[in-house]
Structure 1
Amino acid sequence: MDSLPLVLLHAFPLDSRMWDGVRDQLKPVTIDQRGGDRSPDLVVIAEDVLAELDRLGVERAVVGGCSMGGYVAMALLRRAPERVAGLVLADTRAGADTDEARANRLAMAERVEAEGVGWVPDAVVPGLLGPHPDDAVVERVRELVLARDPAEVAWAQRAMAARPDSTGLLAEVDVPALVLVGEHDRLTPPATAREMAAVLRRVDCVELPGAGHLTPLEAPEAFAAAVVAWRQRVDL
């Protein structure tokens, strides 16, 4: 088992440390998604992932992501489908933003550039986690958010606002896929996960009890177990 590397891409507005709770079990390849001074397009992050795979000598990998990381996984699939042997899509969606969601992202980008990230945890953390999060998880998420560069937070919001609808892309994929979602995910709820799963041809869909939008942080053991069981089942 695990003959192919597993790439895991982090959620917004966090970094690759969000995967620390599953590293021992899943041994993932991770990167910090940074836009820098490049055009706000998630394809540039996908190209960074491809460059890291090239550096590691990896031809094909199982590619996964949580939330924004899922959007990057779809961008990578669009950019280089031949490099993707399987998909793990956690707490994410295939569709593009609504006009309202896009406007909210752009407004947040402007505010972060003007004020920094100090206000961001209070604004976003309650909506990211389930109804009864552990205090340690709350503090960890706040810590990761506060560590972010305001310019990168703004870049990520603009890149996500510009992303295309990937429903048609996923409908054409013929590799095994695992869709994971927290029972209490308010941003991409289980119904949204099921809609995305219905588009995929070869898919398993798992709902993780008690968790919200950040399943790898809130329920790392259950998340890792679901990925391991799926990989065994589909022989990846």
Structure 2
Amino acid sequence: MTVQLYARDVGSGTPLVLLHAFPLSSAMWLAQREGLAPRFRVVTPDLRGFGGSVLGDDDPSIDAMADDVARLFRRLGLGRAVVGGLSMGGYVAMALCRRHPDLVLGLVLAATRAAADSATVRENRLRQASRLDGDGGTQVLVEEVLPNLVGPTTYRQRALVYGRVRGLVQATPPHAAAWAQRAMADRPESFDTLRGLGVPALVMIGDEDALATEEEARAMSEAIPNAELLVIPRAGHLCAVEQPDLFNQAIAEFAAALARTSR
């Protein structure tokens, strides 16, 4: 079946399409919709199975998720957009660049990696997917994924942020999370895509990220012909949620510069 993504669409101007992390939904982009909509058209879809989007019956695949986003572009009448992805959203954004490069005006990659999973990470994803399907609940995500989503500064000083992230994780549909884990486990590496990227890119990483590393972010920025790297202080994996003002400022400057040069 063809999946039609639910998306929040606010503001006007140069379009920004922001793709969310696992195991969250477009609700994670609240501060981006509020902070960036006065200057840009901010489109935040729920990837298939998450939030308001149905899962469908396709085999697990990051490429299928990218094709969903491409259909959303056509449905919303988007020509080209600055596409940003955080973590899993970054995998989808890179697949979009590979499969639908004509849609991408600029690329933002946050807290993600271009390498395929190691055997250990892949096995862990598949184990979690089996438990999600077997339990029919999100306990494995709360126990094993949630602790690495935010950095120590957020744990200590931003209790409301951590509580909100925990609530989003607990609201995740288990079968969608299992599907997404299998899709991520089978994704190919994306360095060839990045080396061939014909648009500017911004790579961001939190300096307290326990899941993606500054070394991996640097490897991506060095593979892309025209890229800048930004390390966000006092932020873990969900840098857009933990340090929204810094994240928004970086995206706004990047997108505004692209809009000027693409006129």
Check if 1:131 corresponds to 2:145.
no
Separation in 2, partners of 1:205, 1:51: 30
Q: How does 1:156-195 map to 2 (within 5 A)?
A: 156-195=180-219
Cα shift at 1:36: 2.9
Change (3 A) 1:201 1:3: farther
Separation in 2, partners of 1:42, 1:119: 22
Worse overlay, 90-99 or 124-133? 124-133
SS in 1 for 2:45: coil
Cα shift at 1:23: 0.7
Cα shift at 1:190: 1.1
- 8 Å CA contact retained: 2:116, 2:187: yes
SS in 1 for 2:82: strand
Separation in 2, partners of 1:127, 1:146: 15
Worse overlay, 150-159 or 135-144? 135-144
Cα shift at 1:3: 4.5
Check if 1:14 corresponds to 2:24.
yes
Q: How much is the aligned-residue C-alpha RMSD, in angstroms?
A: 1.3
Q: How does 1:13-162 map to 2 (within 5 A)?
A: 13-27=23-37, 28-34=42-48, 35-115=55-135, 116-133=137-154, 134-162=158-186
TM-score by length of 1: 0.96
SS in 2 for 1:89: strand
**Runs of at least 5 residues in structure 2 that lack an aligned partner in the other structure:** 1-11, 49-54
2:153 maps to amino acid: H
SS in 2 for 1:223: helix
TM-score by length of 2: 0.86
Separation in 2, partners of 1:3, 1:192: 32
Separation in 2, partners of 1:207, 1:45: 27
How many residues align structurally? 235
Aligned to 1:230: 254
- 8 Å CA contact retained: 1:125, 1:138: no
Task: Work out which structure has the larger RCO, using CA pairs closer than 8 Å and 6 or more positions apart in sequence.
Answer: 1
The match for 2:227 among 200, 203, 213 is 203
Separation in 1, partners of 2:239, 2:196: 27
Separation in 2, partners of 1:158, 1:211: 27
Cα shift at 1:118: 2.7
- 8 Å CA contact retained: 1:36, 1:152: no
SS in 2 for 1:198: helix
Change (3 A) 1:95 1:215: same
Separation in 2, partners of 1:181, 1:87: 14
1:78-98 superposed Cα distances (whole Å, 9 cap, x missing partner)? 111111111000000111101
Superposition misfits of 4+ residues, deviation over 4 angstroms: none
2:234 maps to amino acid: G
- 8 Å CA contact retained: 2:84, 2:90: yes
Separation in 1, partners of 2:36, 2:69: 18
Separation in 1, partners of 2:71, 2:255: 24
1:226 maps to amino acid: A
- 8 Å CA contact retained: 2:82, 2:255: no
SS in 2 for 1:58: coil
Cα shift at 1:204: 1.2
Separation in 1, partners of 2:257, 2:80: 19
Separation in 2, partners of 1:108, 1:17: 23
Separation in 1, partners of 2:118, 2:140: 24
Separation in 2, partners of 1:125, 1:149: 15
What percent identity do the matched residue pairs reach? 47
